[in-house]
Structure 1
Amino acid sequence: MTNNRLILNANKTDFTIIGTFRQRSKLSRFFPMLILNHSITPSDTVYNLGVTFDNDFNFRKHISLTNRSWFYHIRDLLRILAKLIATALITSRLDCCNSLRYSIASKHILKLQWVHSCLARVVTRTPRVSHSVPPLKYLHWLPVQSHIIFKLCTIAYQTLSSGELSYLYSMLSLTPVVRPPG
């Protein structure tokens, strides 16, 4: 190794002895071994090129780690799909007719908020009795009243900046805001 200017990194060096328990126990007296002033011992498992090898060469650890990774991604996929479906089915209906909902009574907005919060809890798998704000924050969903105002402001901004929707553009007027000094 030193002839090729290579240095052994003891923290990254890992090896295993593959064989039966009896075969491995015959070699145990040679370890720990001193190589280039580093004491090394065989590991039960080693990781190489995406595969975890164990000293019995039965891939039990590799299969266990692979399954854990797959189930993590499946749970993540379920969460993503739940959020996409929720957005497509429920939130899209919330966006419909925002201009009509802007001035309705707060008790009606609370009914919409109740359904919106229930949906957030279902998507995030939060218990029914828990507070609704953390799931809404986690999903980056605004409360219903704020959502309605945000959507109306977005439409107004797009109309004023592009001028494309002439029927809306003619209804909007810019009023300068005068702020008091200080």
Structure 2
Amino acid sequence: MSLCNVGETEEKLDEIMRAVKNWMDAKQLKLNEDKSECLLVGKKNDLRRLATATLRMHGTTMEVKHVVRDLGVLVDRHLSFHDQINNVVKATGYHLKNIAFIKKYLDEKTIKMLVHNYVMSKLDYCNSLYYRLPNYLLKRLQNVMNRAARLIKGLPRRERITPPLIDLHWLPIKARIIYKICLMTYQALHFERPKYMNNLLSAFHLDTSMILRHSVDRHRLIEPRCNSDIGFRAFATCAPRLYNMMPENIKNSENLQIFKKKLKTHLFTECYDLNEKCIKQDYRC
């Protein structure tokens, strides 16, 4: 919800929550207004101006938080995701420490399974939110992945990490983020799910009979204009751009499994220099 006027927003919010409460009452569920929280998201100057804003719902004042948890993701009011990445690094570090403690009793296949279930799954969860975050934040996630690779391969701390990553066929963090966004875009276009994502994507159509370079790509999407860095991180803005950059043979994939395989192979060759055994500059954190 976009907030321009606190009073109007409070009325709109109360109307929405009244509809939610009526739906929950019909399903014999209870909405606890005392535990409801709200988050004001915006630029620093706007948040400073609205520092004293309060929102009420059914006569109950809602607590304005700086950080809220939504589906396990910590969302802060600046959308910086500092708290979320701190939480991921802390949780994965705990699991890596425990796996290292029992490593001598396990074979490499079992260690890979544990790392995938307890570490990589946390790095990949909702990672599309990390698109275009500063390198110093993404580097913390990349360091976790590097620790996991060293644990599996039994490498010392100062050993080069890129060859083990290539051997494990792991994409670096930046490539994993692009992979997730392109995958969600393909699913939204071909399966129309989720519907709200499908509604954010529009096919590119030419208003001329002339044959241009863009007309060759049948799967091209309209790329919305954007003037702010945070706007480029929105799915409606970044998804069409990343999807249009993919080769045509990937977008022509017959099914989801073939698309995933081709996309990973493409990103793997894009982010790694297989001759020098190093990560290319664009994918370094």
Which residues of 2 match residues 30-45 of structure 1 at below 5 A?
A: none
Corresponding residue of 1:161: 190
Partner amino acid, structure 1, of 2:214: V
Residues in 1 aligned to 2:135 and 2:160: alpha-carbon distance in whole angstroms: 20
Shift, 1:116, TM fit: 0.7
1:114 aligns with 2:152: no
Residues in 1 aligned to 2:215 and 2:159: alpha-carbon distance in whole angstroms: 42
Mark the structure with the bigger radius of gyration: 1
Dislocated runs of 4+, deviation >4 Å: none
Identity between Structure 1 and Structure 2 (%): 33
The TM-score, its normalising length taken from structure 2, stands at 0.34
Shift, 1:179, TM fit: 8.4
Corresponding residue of 2:266: none
Residues in 1 aligned to 2:144 and 2:183: alpha-carbon distance in whole angstroms: 24
Residues in 2 aligned to 1:152 and 1:131: alpha-carbon distance in whole angstroms: 29
Corresponding residue of 1:172: 201
Shift, 1:162, TM fit: 1.1
Corresponding residue of 2:134: 105
Residues in 1 aligned to 2:193 and 2:129: alpha-carbon distance in whole angstroms: 22
Which residues of 2 match residues 58-69 of structure 1 at below 5 A?
A: none
Shift, 1:79, TM fit: 0.6
Partner amino acid, structure 2, of 1:140: H
Residues in 2 aligned to 1:141 and 1:92: alpha-carbon distance in whole angstroms: 13
Residues in 2 aligned to 1:159 and 1:114: alpha-carbon distance in whole angstroms: 32
Residues in 1 aligned to 2:187 and 2:170: alpha-carbon distance in whole angstroms: 21
| Counterpart secondary structure, 1:136 | helix
Unaligned runs of 5+ in 1: 1-74
**Equivalent residue in structure 1 for 2:175, among 142, 146, 163:** 146
Which residues of 2 match residues 9-158 of structure 1 at below 5 A?
A: 78-158=107-187
Partner amino acid, structure 2, of 1:121: R
| Counterpart secondary structure, 1:178 | helix
| Counterpart secondary structure, 1:164 | coil
Between stretches 171-180 and 93-102, larger displacement belongs to 171-180
Go from structure 1 to structure 2 and tell me whether the alpha carbon gap of 1:115 and 1:174 turns closer, same or farther (over 3 Å shift). same
| Counterpart secondary structure, 1:173 | coil
Q: Deviations over 1:25-80 (max 9, x none)?
A: xxxxxxxxxxxxxxxxxxxxxxxxxxxxxxxxxxxxxxxxxxxxxxxxxx9x7111
Q: Deviations over 1:71-102 (max 9, x none)?
A: xxxx9x71111111101111111111222211
Go from structure 1 to structure 2 and tell me whether the alpha carbon gap of 1:128 and 1:179 turns closer, same or farther (over 3 Å shift). farther
Between stretches 117-126 and 171-180, larger displacement belongs to 171-180
Shift, 1:164, TM fit: 2.6
Residues in 2 aligned to 1:102 and 1:78: alpha-carbon distance in whole angstroms: 35
Unaligned runs of 5+ in 2: 1-103, 206-212, 217-285
Partner amino acid, structure 2, of 1:125: G
RMSD: 2.2
